[in-house]
Amino acid sequence: MSEYWQRFENIETFSISWRKMKIPLHVGLFLITLITTTMAGVQWIGRDPLNLLNFGRGLTYSLSLLLILGSHEFEHFFYSIKHKVQATLPYFIPFPFIPGMLNFGTLGAVIRTKTPVPSRKAIFDIGVSGPIVGFIVSVAVLIFGFTHLPSREYLLHIHPNYDFATNAVPASDGLPLAFGNTILFKLLEVIFTNPHTEFVPPMTEIYHYPLLCTGWFGLFVTAMNLLPIGQLDGGHMIYAMFGQKHRRIARAFFFIILAIGLLGLLPLVGINAELGWTGWLFWCAILFFLIKLDHPPVMDDTPLDRKRMIIGWITILIFVVCFSPIPFTIS
């Protein structure tokens, strides 16, 4: 009976929060992001995003990407409602198309909680639910992408002078961009492709394949969110699992990614070694000044149960297999 009443209260809380939500704003941002991601998808496959006839060619990219981002954020939302925490619907963040600039068409999506999270149990459930579901959807997208690879002619439409023997493209025929590999991405490639019977694109060409591009981006977003720092999803999780010990963990990871970012500056002093990514320096600035390194305390400091601790360690493993220290390389 108590469980039934709890569900009723959750529904009532949901109804109250629903009436306060700015539905037109959320829908409008989603539609704008759908347009910007579709244009990005058209650009990634080497077509003209300003030509409306190409719009349909970008939908595979945009719909799969929004599915990954949406599933992540809506899972946060539903677990917030479950724990009676007032939260907004997801705000999708569009990124406009800029001629000559490659981008994913979005800066992601976020929800905002309006009331305090009452316990470590609640902060854990809300924190890990999004990355886990987003991870599952990303893996499903990647599996479908790897099992439905197009023929070599597909890439020749983008790079007419592509050399399949060396997996090289002339500098004048495209941007020398490569996505960083991860343990999971490579594992899925090995399991679900056969390089002897089909062309498996290298990391320098992944972004031309919509499902591989969005699946890779989903793993990237999962890893970024699971960094165990501040009020990122990973920060919520580590605080819930280890309490005040999270401070040492957060600082350790902050200095690790700061070091990787500084290593990315080596080419500026004449050392041509791909040992880091300068993008981490920008991310460190956001973490330090906006997100902060420490997680604020919650009212109920009761430690997690064994089941949640196991889920937490599994989520840490998800972070490890999704993380790429050098996610982007431009030769």
Percent of the chain with pLDDT over 90: 80
Averaged pLDDT, 57-80: 97
Q: What is the largest CA-CA distance in the chain?
A: 70
> Is 4 a residue whose pLDDT tops 50?
no
Q: Tell whether 64 and 159 lie within a shared domain.
A: no
pLDDT of residue 84: 92
How far apart are alpha carbons 257 and 273 in whole angstroms?
17
Query: Cα dist. 327→60, 86, 104, 140 in Å?
Result: 23, 35, 14, 21
* pLDDT per residue as tens digits for the range 114-132: 999 999 999 999 999 999 9
Instruction: Tell whether 160 and 107 lie within a shared domain.
Output: no
98-106: average pLDDT: 85
Residue 2 reports pLDDT greater than 50: no
* pLDDT score recorded for residue 16: 47
pLDDT at position 90: 96
Sign of the C-alpha dihedral computed for residues 305, 218, 294 and 117 taken in this order: negative
Q: Are residues 94 and 158 in the same domain?
A: no
Does 140 share its domain with 185?
yes
Same domain, 221 and 295: yes
Domain C-terminal end among 80, 115, 150: 115
CA distance 51 to 55: 7
Handedness of CA 94, 137, 291, 78 (dihedral sign): positive
In one-letter notation, the amino acid at residue 321 is: V
Greater pLDDT, 169 or 28 = 28
Q: What is the mean pLDDT of the chain?
A: 91
Same domain, 73 and 103: yes
- The answer on 138 and 13 residing in a single domain is no
281/140 same-domain check:
yes
Are 156 and 282 in a shared domain? Answer: yes
Q: Which of 115, 138, 159 is the last residue of a domain?
A: 115
Q: Is 53 exposed, middle or buried (0-12, 13-18, 19+ CB in 10 A)?
A: exposed
Identify the domain containing residue 123 by its residue range.
118-331
Both 153 and 65 in a single domain? Answer: no
Which of 115, 137, 162 finishes a domain? Answer: 115
Domain count, the chain: 2
Q: Are residues 258 and 299 in the same domain?
A: yes
pLDDT given at position 100:
73
Per-residue pLDDT tens over the stretch 297-317: 999 999 999 999 999 999 999
Q: Are 109 and 148 part of one and the same domain?
A: no
pLDDT at residue 268 in the model? 80
